[in-house]
Amino acid sequence: MSKNVSIKYALDWTTVAFYVALVLMGWISIYGASYNFDQSSIFDFSQRAGSQFIWIMTAFAIGGMLLLVDSRMYDFFAYFIYAFAIILLIFTIVAPNSIAPDIKGSRSWLVFGPVRFQPAELAKIATALALSKFMSSYNYKLKTWKDLLPLGMFILLPIGLIILQHETGSALVFLAFLLMFYREGMNGIVLLLGTFAIVLFVIVIRFSNIPIQVDRGTLGFIAAMLIILLVQVFYAIFFGRNQKEAIILLLGSVVVAAISYVINIWFRVNYNYISIFSIVASCIYWIFVELLNRYRKYWFLILFSIGSVLFCFSADYLFEKVLQPHQQVRIKVLLNMEDDPTGAGYNVNQSKIAIGSGGFWGKGFLNGTQTKLKYVPEQDTDFIFCTVGEEHGFWGSTLVLALYWLFLMRLLKIAERQRETFNRVFAYCVASIFFFHLTINVGMVLGIMPVIGIPLPFFSYGGSSLWGFTILLFILLRLDASRLERMW
């Protein structure tokens, strides 16, 4: 009994308030998005808003029940839950069609009579728990590259299984844990390298069709090489403190470019090879500098340069062979390489029109012409943010984003006040997952991320995702509440 009383005081009611606010705003948006003129009530259970109401009520109940569970149970059962989730993922792949039906080309749902459930949602929670348990053990510290290996195993296993279910979007969510790894000691260079890889990939793909001169090399590749060269120069200036070397490097590159340009007047020169030559030459130069001055600070730069060049070479291959055709089209549409407003670009284009037409104040609740007349597809699930943008305009969407921001900041605050590593790691997992979903989903709706079908937390229609997010959050709130228990 005393525990129950303590929960009331120890519970972080601010977070609960944010949660309830977001869920209710989502519910109203779903009503607006699926409002099809006939519907009289937001509680009409045959309609989407009505069923979402049931999901919300059950989610509240689940959240309440989770608060009653002893906080030590999560730590204790973490690996069991992880194992169970993995088994469910495998089961979904091998289960007969009657239990795991094929929905829009992916087999990620388990159906038992009226109950439908996506094991990937459980896998998210389970992986967060398992990582928290593993990283909070006494003999573990994330310091060297080797320490990342077991963590990688923990996330790669569910990623692989989910990709086998053709749910690439859900699989990508596990990359969110990198942010938590960073907090727990992973070298920040990993995040930078990841970002740099994305930049290189985008540049190489975006400009791969644009020749710098017919048959003389492509703009994308050469631009990527130039960026690598510039990184070398900046590294030399800011980390190496060697401005002289940086200037020599720059001058050398200019000379190579000038010579190749002159040669090009008489002979056909492929600038792609010239740019690779420049990078290789610069690496040799750095080795020379390293040996001459007995430095050790340029090895990383040399490795980085060679790795980047290899990555640029494989970017085309990755794009053409690893990605599926519809994913290629989505990326091409995002990068403005294909204009296809009735095909793959349709969703994003309509979504931008819907949001753009909202203006500053929006068209008013239930007055959005775009979302009502069904111009925007998936408007109550993945594209729910459109409805907010159209009906409530700039101020409404900004309000929602601001609310998410406050919510995320609150989660970070909660995370940092934990005394136990397990709790802190889990808190960062939760924050990272919410952040990742928000970034991808809103970015997609705004047309700055490729179309990846993952829901907007608390907003998108659907019980499975709402329950998943609620469980994540309320486990965290339960763990957080225990922080005071221990003090007493």
Partner 1 sequence: MINDTLQGRRTVIAIIMSAVIVLYILRLFTIQIIDTRYKEGADSNAFLKKTQFPPRGLIYDRKHTLLVYNKPAYDIALIMREIRGLDTLAFCKALNIDKAEFIQRIEDVKDRRKNPGYSTYTPQLFMSQLSIEDIATIQQSMYKFPGFYIQNRTLREYAYPIGAHVLGSIGEVSQRKIDNDDYYNRGDYAGRDGIEYTYEESLRGEKGVEILLRDAKGRIKGKFENGKKDIAPKAGKNLTLTLDIQLQLLAEELLKGKMGSVVAIEPTTGEILAMVSNPSFNPAILVGRQRSKNYNALLHDPTKPLMNRATQALYPPGSSFKTAEALVCQQMGGINEHTYFQCNGKNSSPIRCTHSHGSPVSLLSAVEESCNPYFWNAFRATIEKDGYGSRNINFRTRYDEWADRMKSFGLGEKFTDSDIYEQSRGYIPTQKYYNKLYRGETGWRAITIRSNAIGQGEVLSTPLQMANLMCAIANEGYYISPHLNRCDSLRKKIHYCKVDKKYFPIVFEAMWRVFDSGTAVASKIPGIDMCGKTGTADNSHGKPHSIFVGFAPRVHPKIAIAVVVENAGFGSMFAAPIFSLLAEQYLTGKIKRPELLERTKNTVTNAYVQER
> How far apart (Å, rounded) are the C-alpha atoms in residues 236 and 229?
11
Interface with partner 1 (CB under 8 A), residue from 12, 121, 167, 184: 184
Length of the chain: 488
Asked if 401 touches partner 1 (CB under 8 A), the answer is yes
Asked if 14 touches partner 1 (CB under 8 A), the answer is no
> How far apart (Å, rounded) are the C-alpha atoms in residues 293 and 301?
16
- Shortest distance (Å) from residue 128 CB to partner 1: 16
> How far apart (Å, rounded) are the C-alpha atoms in residues 164 and 108?
9
Residues 6 or more apart whose CB falls under 8 angstroms from that of 348 comprise 333, 334, 444, 445, 447, 451
- Shortest distance (Å) from residue 68 CB to partner 1: 28
Asked if 372 touches partner 1 (CB under 8 A), the answer is yes
Asked if 358 touches partner 1 (CB under 8 A), the answer is yes
Q: With CB under 8 A as the contact rule, which of the stretches 65-73, 158-166, 177-185, 323-331 interacts with partner 1?
A: 177-185
Q: Are residues 205 and 323 in contact, defined by beta-carbon separation less than 8 angstroms?
A: no
> What letters, b where the CB count within 10 A reaches 16 and e where it falls short, cover 121-130?
bbbbbbbbbb
Handedness of CA 223, 226, 230, 231 (dihedral sign): positive
Interface with partner 1 (CB under 8 A), residue from 172, 421, 483, 485: 421
Q: Are residues 394 and 400 in contact, defined by beta-carbon separation less than 8 angstroms?
A: no
Q: Are residues 176 and 191 in contact, defined by beta-carbon separation less than 8 angstroms?
A: no
Asked if 178 touches partner 1 (CB under 8 A), the answer is no
Asked if 183 touches partner 1 (CB under 8 A), the answer is yes
* Helix (H/G/I), strand (E/B), else coil: 169: helix
**CB closer to partner 1 out of 179 and 283:** 179
Interface with partner 1 (CB under 8 A), residue from 310, 373, 377, 484: 373
Per-residue binding letters, 29-48, with partner 1 (x by CB under 8 A): -------xxx----------
Total residues in contact with partner 1, by rule CB under 8 A: 54
- Secondary structure element (H or E) that encloses residue 115, with its range: strand 115-117
Q: With CB under 8 A as the contact rule, which of the stretches 70-78, 107-115, 170-178, 357-365 interacts with partner 1?
A: 357-365
- Shortest distance (Å) from residue 449 CB to partner 1: 10
**CB closer to partner 1 out of 110 and 376:** 376
> What letters, b where the CB count within 10 A reaches 16 and e where it falls short, cover 83-114?
eebbebbeebeeeeeeebeeeeebbbbbeeee
Asked if 271 touches partner 1 (CB under 8 A), the answer is no
Asked if 306 touches partner 1 (CB under 8 A), the answer is no
Interface with partner 1 (CB under 8 A), residue from 119, 169, 345, 389: 389
**CB closer to partner 1 out of 282 and 418:** 418
Interface with partner 1 (CB under 8 A), residue from 435, 467, 469, 474: 435
Asked if 248 touches partner 1 (CB under 8 A), the answer is no
462-481 residues near partner 1, rule: CB under 8 A: none
Residues 6 or more apart whose CB falls under 8 angstroms from that of 429 comprise 127, 128, 131, 132, 176, 177, 180
> What letters, b where the CB count within 10 A reaches 16 and e where it falls short, cover 141-175?
ebeeeebbeebeebbebbbebbebbbbbbbbbbbe
**CB closer to partner 1 out of 21 and 323:** 21
Asked if 138 touches partner 1 (CB under 8 A), the answer is no
- Shortest distance (Å) from residue 421 CB to partner 1: 6
Residue that the structure tokens 């221990």 belong to: 486
Among residues 4, 45, 49, the alpha carbon closest in space to that of 459 is found at 49
Give me the residues that bind partner 1 (CB under 8 A), please: 36-38, 179, 182-185, 188, 352-360, 363, 366-370, 372-375, 389, 393-394, 397-398, 401-402, 404-405, 408-409, 412, 415-416, 419, 421, 424, 428, 431, 435, 438-439, 442-443, 446, 448
